[in-house]
Every structure is written in C-alpha cells, then in structure tokens.
Amino acid sequence: MQKTLYITSNGRLRRHENTLYFESGEEKRAVDIENIEQIHIFGEVDLNTKALNYISQYGIILHFYNYYGFYSGSFLPRKKNVSGEVVVRQALHYLEREKRLFLAYCFVESAVHHMMRNLRERKEAEAFLTAIEDEWEKGRFAISSVTELMGLEGRIRNIYYQSFNQFLPDDFAIEKREKRPPTNPINALISFGNSLIYSHTLSQIYQTQLDPTISFLHEPSEKRFSLSLDISEIFKPLIVDTVIFKLLNNHQITLEHFDEDLNYCYLNQDGRKIFIKELQTKLETTVRHRQLNRNVSYKGFIRLECYKLIKHFIGDQVYSPLKAWW
C-alpha cells in the first residue's frame, strides 16, 4: 500500500540528485518517494520547481493547509489514468436531471445510514436516532430536486450533531454546526477532519478516470473539486466522526490542544498530530469485503466508490453506495 506523508513542521522540501529531502532546522530527512502516494503539508514549507517536477514524476499529490489547519489547495501532477468516454458519460449524468438526482440521493442515503449506525452504538442518543429515522422516512419519498434533498440532509445533520452532547465530554458541547469559521473546539475538530477526508478522497479520485469537478449532490464549481465533496459525504460519519468520538471520549484530545484567534478556534500543532495519527490508523484499518472476499482498508473503500461510479457511468452496473455492514 502506498503511504501518506504528513508534514506538520516548518521547513523545506528539496531535491538533491535523485533524492527528495525534508529539511527542518538542523534536521534533514530523506523522503521514501517511491512509496508515497500523497503529501499533506501543514507547516510553512518551501519548495521549488526542481522539487515539484521530481514529485510530479512519481505522480505524488500535494495537499496544502492554511495556518488554521484547513484545506487550501492541491498540486495534482499530470493525470495518466484518463478516459474521454468516462468523462463524457459522467457529464451526461450531471446534465440529465433524473440521473443526477439518483446519484445525489445515493450519497445522502449512505451518509444517513452511517450517521444512524454511529448513534445505534450509543444508548444515550436513542431519541436522536429515532428523530433521524422519522425525518428520513418522512422526507426521502417526497424529494423531487437536489435542492430539496440537500435541505433534508441538512435537517438530519442538525439532529445528528445535537446528539453529540449526549455522549461527548461537556467541554465539547455543540450548539450548532459552524464552519466558517469554527468558533469552538468541537466545530474545529469536525472542520479539520472534514478537510482531511476531502483531500484524501480527492487523492483517490485522481487515481481513477473520474473528473473531480463534475459532481451531483454539490453544484460543480470553478473553485473546488466538488465530486470529492459528494463522495466525502459517505465517509465523514464513517471515518471522521468515529475518530472524533474515540479521541474525545478517551481524553486523547482535550481543551489544551486548541488555540483561539479572535473568533477562530483551531487545533494546535500537538492536537493536529494526535488527530492525524488516529485518522491514518483508521484509514489503514481493514475489513473483510463480502463480495471481493479480501481485506479492504477504509482508504480502499473510498477508491472502490470511485470504481463503482465509473461502472455506473459506462452502464456496467447500477451504482449502489457503501453502507457499512460490519
């Protein structure tokens, strides 16, 4: 399995002959470039075109995050796995209203399944689970547009996030979901985790023939890879939220791992390291796949969703989103 490198300190990525180094102060460390799939950069890191060209030769994706630890952008090498036919068919599924609505519904259906899955494991949240089930059953058959679907998904998420107060430490109470900017620790954690799963999903899309800018639930935009947002909906409750629950309930992350800047709350460097380590452990955890009859990592499940979408676009197999059975 190709590895993921996270750089959380300041320094420089530099190529010397046929080796890539990360230099930070007096420390100089060689990067195992042949076995790296993606690099996530959180610190202030310098690199030049010589290093970028070398990184590009190996098809390595760079993801950049701002001072607060939230996603800023990516460097994507020239894509080698391309198919004009797949992209055309992907675009047609966006343009045809019923086909787009079907896929958008699939993403939300999977997300709701995983939200309910999380709450079923917590007796304290039983009333919220019932409320989500009622809202979903009441609303899903009346959906006639993507806008209505997103409204339903938003109402369900509000109920879901309110349930967190039943089983997380009091220091991490949530009143409402705040994204831009997050003003308290729990919102900062959710935003940080969602940024990471967005970029990890983008990395998996890049390895396939899909176009990351053509989406179905979220409106395609010139400023973001909106298909990554679509697919991330499936994995935010399945991966990010379960990591948050574990870290907070085991007191691995506490209030001391957060800083505040005016109305901005964010994880400090120590907190980021703890979160990243746990998230990567989750991504590498494997599950026995029922159809493939082999172990698949959580990261592998993201790639499998991409392949299932391709099969759907070319007419091989109707898309059925992941619904964790384990």
pLDDT single digits (tens) 256-274 = 999 988 788 999 999 999 9
Residue 223 has pLDDT above 90, yes or no: no
pLDDT of residue 89: 98
Mean pLDDT, range 157-175, rounded to an integer:
94
| CA 264 to each of CA 39, 118, 165, 222, 325: distance values in angstroms, whole numbers, following the listed order | 26, 28, 21, 27, 38
Closest CA to 109 of 138, 145, 151, 149: 149
How far apart, in whole angstroms, are the C-alpha atoms of residue 84 and residue 162? Answer: 44
Total domains present in the chain: 2
Q: Look up the CATH number of the domain holding residue 233.
A: 1.20.120.920
Q: How confident is the model at residue 183 (pLDDT cuts 50, 70, 90)?
A: confident
pLDDT of residue 222: 65
Residues 239 and 94 in one domain: yes
How far apart, in whole angstroms, are the C-alpha atoms of residue 299 and residue 232? Answer: 12
> How many CB atoms sit inside 10 A of residue 14's CB?
18
Asked whether the whole model's pTM tops 0.85, one would answer yes
Chosen domain end from 52, 75, 98? 75
Residue 177 has pLDDT above 90, yes or no: no
Residue type, 124: E
Residues 167 and 196 in one domain: yes
> How many CB atoms sit inside 10 A of residue 24's CB?
14
Mean pLDDT, range 206-228, rounded to an integer:
92
Residues 39 and 178 in one domain: no
Binding site members: 153, 218, 233
3-state secondary structure of 282: helix
Mean pLDDT of the chain: 94
52 inside domain:
yes
322 inside domain:
no
Strand residues in the chain grouped as ranges (E): 3-7, 11-16, 19-24, 27-31, 36-41, 45-46, 61-65, 71-75, 258-261, 264-267, 286-288, 295-297
Residues 6+ apart with CB under 8 A from 193: 236, 239, 240, 241, 243, 244, 275, 279
pLDDT of residue 176: 81
Q: At what angle do helices 84-95 and 298-313 cross, to 10 degrees?
A: 80
pLDDT per residue over 293-320, tens digit each?
A: 899 999 999 999 999 999 999 999 999 9
pLDDT of residue 264: 85
11 inside domain:
yes
pLDDT of residue 84: 94
Binding site members for Mn(2+): 153, 218, 233
Residue 85 has pLDDT above 80, yes or no: yes
Question: What backbone phi and psi angles, to 5 degrees, belong to 313?
Answer: -65, -40
pLDDT of residue 109: 98
Q: Which residue has the tokens 């574990």?
A: 246
Residue 224 has pLDDT above 90, yes or no: no
CB 90 within 8 A of CB 217: no
The parent domain of residue 33 ranges over: 3-75
Chosen domain end from 24, 56, 75? 75
How far apart, in whole angstroms, are the C-alpha atoms of residue 126 and residue 128? Answer: 5
Closest CA to 326 of 121, 20, 29: 121
pLDDT of residue 133: 97
Residues 35 and 102 in one domain: no
> How many CB atoms sit inside 10 A of residue 38's CB?
22
Q: In DSSP terms, which residues pair with 75 in a beta bridge?
A: 62
Chosen domain end from 75, 96, 131? 75
Residues 213 and 64 in one domain: no
How far apart, in whole angstroms, are the C-alpha atoms of residue 18 and residue 9? Answer: 23
How far apart, in whole angstroms, are the C-alpha atoms of residue 245 and residue 305? Answer: 25
Q: Which has the minimum average pLDDT: 99-103, 141-145, 179-183?
A: 179-183
Residue 323 has pLDDT above 90, yes or no: yes
Q: Look up the CATH number of the domain holding residue 70.
A: 3.100.10.20
Residue 221 has pLDDT above 80, yes or no: no
pLDDT per residue over 108-130, tens digit each?
A: 999 999 999 999 989 999 999 99
Antiparallel, parallel or unpaired: β 3-7 and 36-41: parallel
Residues 144 and 278 in one domain: yes
